[in-house]
Structure 1
Amino acid sequence: MSLFLWLLWTHQTVFTNRFGELSPKDVAFTIVNIFLLIFLSNSFYPDFNKTFVPFMTCMSLLYFSISLQYLLHIPQTQSKGDKMTCMTSGLVTLIVAVLSIIGLLTPATYRFVPGNIGLFIAAVGWIPFRKYLVESPVNMMHLVERYALLTIIVFGELLVGIASIFNITKFDYLYIFQFMILIGLFLTYWAVTEFYINHRHRTVGFKLSYAHLIINIALGGVNAAIVFSSSDKINRLFEVHFMYGSILLFFIGLWLNTSYFHNHYKNIRLIFVSLIIIITGYILSLLFARYDDVLIISSAVVNSTIALMYYTNKRKSTRAGIASHHH
């Protein structure tokens, strides 16, 4: 369900990024989509079979809405690249909408199959048409801003997760370190999106989109790992693997965007040193797995150290950039 919603959000964002205007048509589509999303958010149950019909109904309507936005925009396009982008994206989203409807009509045993095929097409349907999309590049600054917004919402979910384990009557020093895990990741993410990425870069934006899917899944993992850390029900070694696996996944998501960085920030040494810090924290946590506190403290130190590195590197690189510019 998260994947479906994330892809839906991406398809709508990419349309708005390339062709969105403040026209009555676009505003009307936005209002209808928000109405459907309110309905959709009320249909979530832990049991997916109970959720399936309202979820897939809303999905098909929302994808149909995006498809219609693309197809209605075709007459207004100027360049061949824009026209082909509208046609291919309209077609991809229409196929996903149709597959969602087929899923609703399929017998219960197989009804997940059309939905999953739709999910796959929603994820990779653009790739074969890349050559047309290159002629219709995204507005990089807007795209980074949209994904940053989504990621900040996910960080908000992490705060909610941490709040659920903080005990207001009995203060524990570990709360500070649990909070530091989150802050370290947030500061690194902020530094990369705000300073490292070149907002004037001409691109299709695929890498940025898929990297953010990895980042958001990783943050969900970190959230669960922090919440698990205050429970005795989970195997200690699993906790260590899960926490560090999620942290590593988060940084892999960030590093995938390196090709979008300003030239003076494309620093492989930074990735290499960050990896060594993560591996060191991981080994220490494994060695002292029977002590609860070590995992939380080491994760907090790892994330804070990497965040500090990114900020000091930013200052150095900015100075070097200014010096070479004057030179």
Structure 2
Amino acid sequence: MDWILLTEQALNGLQFGLMLFLLAAGLTLVFGIMDMINLAHGSLYMVGAYLAAAVAAATGSFLLAVLAALVGTAVLGMALEVTLLRRLYARDHLSQVLATFALILMLNEGVRILWGDQPLMLNTPAALSGPVELLPGLHYPAYRLLIIGVGLAVALLLWVLVTRTRYGAWVRAGASNRQMATAMGVNIRALFTAVFGFGAALCALAGALLGPLLAVQVGMGESILILAFVVIVVGGIGSVRGALVGSLLVGVVDTASRTLLPAALRQLASPEVASNLGPALASILIYVLMAAILFWKPRGLFPAHG
């Protein structure tokens, strides 16, 4: 197994992990600050991908499609928070799970009504359709490098917002002690709406960027939502740093295991057994990782304090 394959899989894992971070960051903020379990978070990722595909087909501009997905999904997220989710904050987690699961079904049917059952195509920008030579003999798709760059930039921006700005101080105060933050003059309702809209925009960014690599189809948010929940449990609920570290761990482990594990099994068993057993073992490896980390640190790697 040569170094080129290992390097490519490491870059693929980094790219997938950073996209998971975009989903997990919004999810952990909503869960950590609002104490709200939002199963419809993955549906906002789906809506962002559909908006990007529709606008790209109408205008031919990928940049305009991404911007439209960000704005449209953020507005939808804030509208859902104001009209529906705000009424669930005082309810128990079972009520939140049932209500947001119903929201998944409604958003799936709404997308099906607007765009039909057939997957939409979202093409890679022509300028980024080719490979880039990173090292002699190592070529990597330019579009995947763009995704890595955007993911790193968003992670840095989010760190600055949370730790170095007044708005970030309000967010941390609301997560630590909601009543005290309200007494100090923080508008908790407006803060919650803004945080939810920001999380929805991050979902849309992930959906728009992954659209050219994955199928833009109804229900695409459910499978990736499971991974996002694994990420925030591994990293620590309410911790943005934990969401980043957990996303990178899950992304690298999931990507590498799906490629390297079947190849390793071929050294021990027949090709037929390896091809059947390898993907099955790879699909459960991230849950084994989660169980091991929780056994070692029950609150996750970087639990939020307060």
Same fold (TM over 0.5): no
| Higher Rg | 1
TM normalised by structure 1 equals 0.29
Bigger RCO of structures 1 and 2 (CA < 8 A, at least 6 apart)? 2
